[in-house]
Amino acid sequence: MKKTFLIGAIGILVIIFVCMAGCVNQQAVHAPSATGETMPIRVITEEFPPYNYAGPNGNVTGQSTEVVNEIMRRNGVSYPIGILPLDKGLADTRAAPYTAIYSLAVTPERRDNFTWVGPIGTYTMTFFARNGSALQIRNIDDIRSAGPVGVVRGDQRVLVLQENRVTDLSFCTNDTQCVKRLAEGEIPLWLGSKEGVAYNLALAGVSPDAIVPVYTLQQTELFIAFNKGTPETITGSWQRALDSMYQDGTFGQIMDRWQTSGPLPFRPEEPNHPDRAVTLAAVTALTDTTLQGVHYLLRAMAYTGDIRSGDPEKIVPLLQSVQSDNPDILVWYSYPNGTYFTSKGQVSESLVDRPYFPTVLSGETVLGYPVTSRSTGRLSAVIAVPVMEGGTVTGIMGSSVYLDLLTQKITRELSLTPSTEFYALTGDGHYVLNSVEARILQDPSLLGNQTSFGRAIQEIIQGTAGTANYDLEGTTWTASFVTSPLTGWKFVVAEPGPVIP
């Protein structure tokens, strides 16, 4: 009897094993694809509408999901997509090769832990409050004092809040939970996305008018992140498939369907600028003239009796007067100990640990140092001059030039065509200006120096002036670059089309 039972059990196990092997083969492995993907990729995402979320039938849907599915279709594979809490998904992706997670923003902490494919979209970080709330949110200081901010645990938004010294955080599993807690009065603020709020309200069963946006922080791009152990043949094939989607218009069609934003592909019917060199000179000159104008303004203020007095009762009214005439910049005054004031009064944070601060204290001027403003949370370029009294630095007169508004000014005043891209790079290779605003202060070498774009960026950073050719997002670009004598930034104007010798 025991022997018969054992033989029967073994037979059942063999049948189960054969069935399981067949199921796995059908769902993940298939035959080797045209791109050489013989090992299945485990694809993970989080609940983050409208980019990725569980639909009514339980299947994962969303704008980014549609992009990922199209990439897989073009590569001849089809892998199941699982939804996990973000911190769990990140941990699983770091732990195992042949694992990918999307839609993910790049942070300094994440940057070297993954291989990146993208961008696959953008989203706008926005603070929301309950409708009818008495909160007055004008800047980051108001957010710091408002009470706990709801945010998804492990998300890039946590790091952005911490960088802005917002430390009173209330963690949620996903944005839908944050929306519920906000609507029920458990938290006064939620840092969500402008693009996803309607979806999260619907999923939470909350009325569309229950919450309102109160402050926009920044825009960022979203990527697919692969475990570093995933072969380049796979990650490269995913990037090439995405690039082909840019090129043939499929990516733009997906964005249109979901009514969200993404990298804008070149549209062949748009004419190129007649002279790239002229455009480059104009972009550089307009930027330098704008920054130099702010510099001269600060120098003039530093010589006034009100500023040299060091008395906040005299300094703040002057800041208010200048600020009202210059909405594209933030004007501030700092003591040598880092305590500083804006037109709204003293700021709770200190500037003493800013890398540029010792330079100004030594009596030198700083022109165009890129930062995230501690008083507004906006991406900015700092211009600062010393306030001198008897050969001693008694204070600092400074300004934070908003980089998104400067970018918009360049586009508007020079009437650039949508097909023309411009950007400026700092000495360490970060974007300080970019016609695609979501890229400002990002590192363009993110996708690796093995690409023609990565090599072109290195050529631009190391050179003084010249031209470079590269492929990016399915388009061939010809770029001219020059170094600003004022800031040292590398200005670039690029146009799509055939490579010009």
For residue 130, list its beta bridge partners.
Answer: 211
| pLDDT at position 452 | 84
- Alpha carbons within 13 angstroms on the beta-carbon side of residue 384 total 32
| pLDDT band at residue 498 using 50, 70 and 90 as cut-offs | low
Q: Mind listing the pLDDT tens digit for each residue in 38-77?
A: 689 999 999 888 899 888 778 899 999 999 999 999 999 9
Q: Mind listing the pLDDT tens digit for each residue in 286-326?
A: 899 899 889 989 999 998 999 999 999 999 999 999 999 88
| Cα separation, 82 vs 286, whole angstroms | 49
Token couple for 73: 């279709």
Pairing type for strands 60-61 and 53-54 reads antiparallel
* Ramachandran angles phi, psi of 366, nearest 5°: -110, 130
Residue 241 pLDDT exceeds 70: yes
| pLDDT at position 149 | 97
Token couple for 271: 């004419």
User: Can you state the angle between helices 250-258 and 232-248, rounded to 10 degrees?
Assistant: 80
| Cα separation, 49 vs 201, whole angstroms | 10
| DSSP 3-state percent helix, strand, coil across the chain (nearest 5) | 40, 30, 35
Q: Mind listing the pLDDT tens digit for each residue in 131-160?
A: 999 898 888 888 999 999 999 998 889 988
For 320, which DSSP code? H
- % of the chain with per-residue pLDDT over 70: 87
Residue 14 pLDDT exceeds 70: no
The answer to whether the beta carbons of residues 185 and 133 sit under 8 Å apart is no
| pLDDT band at residue 473 using 50, 70 and 90 as cut-offs | confident
Q: Mind listing the pLDDT tens digit for each residue in 186-230?
A: 999 999 988 888 888 888 888 888 999 999 887 788 999 999 999
Token couple for 217: 């922080």
Residue 16 pLDDT exceeds 80: no
Chain mean pLDDT for the chain: 84
| Cα separation, 248 vs 265, whole angstroms | 9
Which of these, 169, 173, 184, lies nearest to 127 by C-alpha position?
Answer: 169
| pLDDT band at residue 475 using 50, 70 and 90 as cut-offs | confident
| pLDDT at position 429 | 87
| pLDDT at position 450 | 64
| pLDDT at position 217 | 82
| Cα separation, 416 vs 414, whole angstroms | 5
Q: Mind listing the pLDDT tens digit for each residue in 99-123?
A: 999 999 887 778 889 999 988 988 8
